[in-house]
Copies of this chain bind each other. A is one copy, B any other.
Amino acid sequence: MSSKRILTDRESALPALAEAFREHGFEGASLASLSKATGLGKGSLYNFFPGGKEEMMEAVLENIDGWFAKAIFAPLEHGPDPAAAVTAMFDDVTAYFRSGQRVCVVGCLGLNAAGETFSGKVKAYFARWISSLAHCLEVGKVPPGLALELAEEAVSGIQGAIVLARALGDEASFQRIVHRLRSSLLDAIDRHG
């Protein structure tokens, strides 16, 4: 049973780690703060993540990617109703980012030099998001070229909404922007479907 226990405890520390990285960034999150956030001592942290901060962030990224794959990408790629999948995506994303009060760890990693180590995963995350959304739009009869552009615009728009809402401290602006993005995609599906 021991191998299972290890995985469980390691996994259960990820949400707290993610929250700490989210709020302070990769460089800004010290081991002391990570220890306090998780409730685990330094010894425990290095027991579960021998690679240190880098391995912790790697695990957090995989965890986030897993959540998105299940909750966002899969419905977009395999859902029967494109319009419903798009609507669900925006709802889930709004809840996940708490209307922009919660920052996108992946997006932030790409912004400064400290995150260059993870550039591969950052790139893959956004590429998959865009391609699965574009695929969904294509299922909704939107022409491939336009679908890709709209998907790119939507994913980019969500990231921008997070930046703006955080800067202004205003959840309403996030919701207005996301609402417009959703309408734009649904209109395209309506128009071509």
In the bound complex, residues from chain B placing their C-beta under 8 Å from that of A114 are: 24-25, 28
A167–B110 touching, CB < 8 Å = yes
A107–B149 touching, CB < 8 Å = no
Give A137 Cβ to nearest chain B Cβ, in Å: 15
B167–A153 touching, CB < 8 Å = no
In the bound complex, residues from chain B placing their C-beta under 8 Å from that of A107 are: 163, 167
In the bound complex, residues from chain B placing their C-beta under 8 Å from that of A173 are: 152, 156
Count, chain A residues at interface, CB 8 A: 42
Look across to chain B and name the residue whose beta carbon is closest to the beta carbon of A127.
B168
Q: Which residues of A contact B (CB under 8 A)?
A: 23-25, 27-28, 103-104, 106-108, 110-114, 119, 122-123, 125-127, 149, 152-153, 155-164, 166-169, 173, 176-177, 180
